[in-house]
Amino acid sequence: MKHAVPAARSGSKLPVVAIAGNPNTGKTTVFNRLTGSDRKVGNYPGVTVERHTGRLDLPSGRAIEIVDVPGTYSLSARSREEEIAIQAVAGLAPLEPPDAVVLVVDATQLSRNLYIVLQVLELEVPLVVALNMMDSLVARNEEIDVARLSRDLGVPVVPMSGSQGTGFEELAAQIERVLADPQVGTPGSRWIPVTEALSADVSAVSSKLPREWTRSSASRERALALWALLSLDESDEWAGIPDELRAIVIERRVLAQAADRHIDLEVIRGRYGWIDARIDTFVKRKGPIAKSLSESIDAVLLNPVAGFAIFLVLMAIVFQALFSWTDPLMQLIEGGFDSLSGVISSVLPSGLFQQFVTGGVIAGFGSIVVFLPQILLLFLFIGLLEDTGYMARVAFLMDRSMRMLGLHGRAFVPMLSGYACAVPAILATRTMERQRDRTLTMMVIPLMTCSARLPVYTLVIGALFPAGVLLGFVPTQGLLMIGMYLFSTLMAFVAAAVLSRTLFKATAVPLILELPPYRYPHWPSVLRMMIQRSKAFLFQAGGVILVISIVLWALLTFPRDATLETRIATARAVVATQSGSPEEIAGRQVSAEDELRAEVLRSSYAGRLGHAIEPVIAPLGFDWKIGIGLIGAFAAREVFVSTMGVVYGVGDSVDEESTTLRAKIKDETRTNGSRVYTPLVGLSLMIFFALACQCMSTLAAVYRETKSWGWPVFLFVYMTVLAWVASFAVYQGGRALGFE
């Protein structure tokens, strides 16, 4: 029953008004201002394109639903997102037609923006034109004759400024007017196909159009015939197009080619012909052409030397901020959740429920909230980069390097953020339009050395590799750390290059990148995006993280030793009778307790799982205790350190600098007396952590962004296999070369 999927609109009785327009016209700011706080984010049916809707109360008090449609330059698509925009505006299945469309038009680029206006007029969808960025005209010494524009277009045109908040009452009033009397917004097509040959093409195609598209309107029929002639061919990616429609289009195109005609050019020239004949009456020049400030800025920012240097400095600031500025706040959050656990422990009677609340639920919430500082900060930067127009320059500067890896130029900022943390980085892939680019980037980001890997590396390097200097000044331990960064970066590049040429193989789409003028950021919009992205993460990825946290807690806790607390009390009592100073006794009591807790963990489900996976990880040099650590580290990589602390009976409050834990690790022996942790095992372990997807939050974020379980599962499997193979090669290769 695939076609029984309800259309996006069902359930709401409110009239629907779609907000559409070219990219970079301030469309989203207009949408945000119109809808205030009452907004929802959903998905278009069957795709992962977000559908933002909101409510607007018109002057009369009547409520309408406003839909923010993805930006598009025209009604012929080059991407899935543009297809959605076209379906939403034209009312093509599976989306229902809107009751009216508001096209946001950039007043400073009227000529190009009028193109899509003409297309929508042809479709006879009630239209209001929001003539945005009127405030920018002054600096350009230009003026627009709004009355004339409105008269010639035949629809209401509202001059406004989204960033300054002017013109919104008038826009609401005109939306109301058009809804009340749709004729006001549907004057019909402004131009007609001039040549007889093109008219013949249109009538031929019209006869094959589905009835439900044309709604028995002759001019809509002509509009959709033109749309089909321009959009369909042997290799278009439109779904749900009747075969006979595509066949007739192909037939007419072949005929046209034989007659040396160019249908696309005829149609597009027809529309631009109308625009060019009038543009000088719409736009009045008040003075000399002002030298574009943006062009002067770009002379520096796109300069191969200076521009690149500035770019690197900006990116260094973004990285430094994510990596270290958020740290105090994250520690504050962690500390807060720890204190909360402490308070709960003292209030609840000790026992299983108390452990569940503190170790499962609160720890779970803590591991969700702790991401917020990085997410907010990263989206602050992304909001500013997007709003000022610099993000397009990032794509410009990085296109060549990123393309070698099969990635989009805009993938640079998310990839860089991956060095701090994969979770905000994955959310940041939103900045790319195409789903393919987004998903591919998400599959590569988790290979970057995130900050959660550092405690593991620090522990292993500190315990197993002697501090020393190479060539008299290079610290070997530091060199190893840098080596791990280089290794992970290289692996990410290799993964990107391989995935983009296999699983994500796509026909190369030529780049058409608009460099919009630089603008001051609109703070409310930036703020709104920060909040919206954080909320989406909290509510959609948070649930998954919470569930996995609780499952991990249960694995590490059950089966329970009901006598544990009594045994601990007994052990403490025994130690208390021994001779020694009070400090010595207290110390021995803690050790005795840690030893007992280690025993419980070793016999828990996680402990048994550690044993169960030992045959698999033994070829990597790992024993079952490391296996437990790997299971615990799935919550977050740095948890490996505290899990190993419990396993080795030194308590869970150790950190990677702990000398006791390092000593324990160094001295740990197998049954045959040989050491468990050799430098080779340490290297193998670090390689494993560099490549394995040991992070539930990353997987939850990928689930949130792809709206599917398939991608997180694929990510987990490919990274784990990669990690296993690489660790295997390092360990077995090392042994073959004679290392221990």
**Residues 288, 349, 510, 673: which binds other proteins (CB under 8 A)?**
510
302 lines the binding site for other proteins (CB under 8 A) = yes
657 lines the binding site for other proteins (CB under 8 A) = no
| β-pair partners for 102 | 19, 128
**Residues 57, 181, 514, 667: which binds other proteins (CB under 8 A)?**
514
Please spell the DSSP secondary structure of 53-122, one letter per residue: EEEEE-TTS-EEEEEEPPP-SSSS-SSHHHHHHHHHHHT-TTSPPPSEEEEEEEGGGHHHHHHHHHHHHH
510 or 615: CB nearest other proteins: 510
φ and ψ of 105, to 5 deg? -120, 135
Q: Which two tokens stand for residue 165?
A: 């908040």
284 touches 149 (CB < 8 A): no
- Per DSSP, the three-state class of 686 is helix
272 lines the binding site for other proteins (CB under 8 A) = yes
Preceding peptide of 210 cis, ω within 30°: no
The angle, 0 to 180 degrees and rounded to 10, between the axes of the packed helices 710-736 and 435-444 is 30
682 touches 413 (CB < 8 A): no
Interface stretch with other proteins, choices 41-49, 109-117, 498-506, 644-652 (CB under 8 A): 109-117
269 or 535: CB nearest other proteins: 269
**Residues 515, 571, 586, 613: which binds other proteins (CB under 8 A)?**
515
Minimum Å gap between C-beta 112 and other proteins is 5
**Residues 14, 50, 96, 109: which binds other proteins (CB under 8 A)?**
109
Minimum Å gap between C-beta 230 and other proteins is 7
78 lines the binding site for other proteins (CB under 8 A) = yes
φ and ψ of 56, to 5 deg? -130, 130
356 lines the binding site for other proteins (CB under 8 A) = no
310 lines the binding site for other proteins (CB under 8 A) = no
513 lines the binding site for other proteins (CB under 8 A) = yes
* x/- letters, 490..509, toward other proteins (CB under 8 A): -------------------x
308 lines the binding site for other proteins (CB under 8 A) = yes
296 or 331: CB nearest other proteins: 296
Q: Please give the distance of CA 14 from its chain centroid, rounded to a whole number.
A: 31
270 lines the binding site for other proteins (CB under 8 A) = no
* x/- letters, 403..442, toward other proteins (CB under 8 A): ------x---------------------------------
251 lines the binding site for other proteins (CB under 8 A) = no
| β-pair partners for 83 | none
**Residues 47, 173, 230, 361: which binds other proteins (CB under 8 A)?**
230
φ and ψ of 620, to 5 deg? -95, -5
268 or 571: CB nearest other proteins: 268
As a whole number of Å, the CA-based R_g of the chain is 31
Q: CA–CA separation, 199 vs 266, rounded Å?
A: 11
Q: CA–CA separation, 652 vs 282, rounded Å?
A: 72
**Residues 48, 294, 477, 732: which binds other proteins (CB under 8 A)?**
294
Interacting positions 382-401 with other proteins (CB under 8 A): 396-400
265 lines the binding site for other proteins (CB under 8 A) = yes
Q: CA–CA separation, 516 vs 620, rounded Å?
A: 52
81 touches 49 (CB < 8 A): yes
111 lines the binding site for other proteins (CB under 8 A) = yes
Residue with tokens 């007029």: 121
134 lines the binding site for other proteins (CB under 8 A) = no
Q: CA–CA separation, 492 vs 498, rounded Å?
A: 10
Question: Residue 170: which of 179, 184, 160 has the closest Cα?
Answer: 160
Binding residues for other proteins (CB under 8 A): 73-74, 76, 78, 108-109, 111-112, 115, 230, 233, 236, 264-265, 268-269, 272, 294-295, 298-299, 302, 304, 307-308, 396-400, 409, 509-517
